[in-house]
Amino acid sequence: MKRRDTLILVGVVPVLLAGCASTPVPMHWYELKSAPPEAPPAARAGDGAVWELSGRMRLPGPLERDTLVVASGAAGVLPLEGHRWVEPLRDSIPVRLAADLALLRGEGLVWLSPAPPGVSVARRLRVEIDTLVADEARQTLRLRARWWFASATPTAPPTMEMADIRIELPDRSVDALAAAHRLAIWRLAQRITAAP
């Protein structure tokens, strides 16, 4: 009888331990698409000045992660386990913003730093993103950013501009959240080009 009980335990224990082991969370990947999320208008007639956007963009700490996050409570953020950016936002946001600005201003008028040799840069654009996070209920994504231009030959201190952009999410899916990030960058480009 004892031997039979021991054999049963030997067979049951591994099954119980396997049941207790956690299964890995499936990974879902998201990207900031290269195409703008809305049809771009005709390039705005401007002064023809060439802009150079700094590729070194300050982002809030939570955006330095590869995981998508949402706000949690009064001051926290909650990583969405199993949902990651293909490319870190610190790399993809400057590239997308530069491309959006170029679409809005005209070909050859916006370059991501460093501009190619032979391009005469008139204004250097710096952008800092203070907030880019959805609320806890995933109803709204908020982007708060500031930017300023410096002349290639500085004669006066730069003037800082600010934007506070809110994107309503159509649903609570993580896909909608990721798409809202792309729309927020597009809207920021529109605000920058519309500023005097």
Set out the domains of the chain in order of their start, with CATH numbers. Answer: 28-194 (3.40.50.10610)
User: Would you state the pLDDT for residue 140?
Assistant: 95
Chain centroid offset of residue 84 CA: 11
Best CA proximity match to 66, nearest among 23, 22, 26, 27: 27
Predicted structure pTM score = 0.83
Read off the pLDDT of each residue in 90-118 and give the average, rounded to a whole number. 94
pLDDT digits (tens, 9 = 90+) for 9-39: 555 555 555 555 566 779 999 999 999 888 8
Confidence of residue 101 (pLDDT cuts 50, 70, 90): very high
Distance CA 62, CA 118 (A): 38
Cite the beta strand spans of 86-139 per DSSP E.
110-112, 123-134
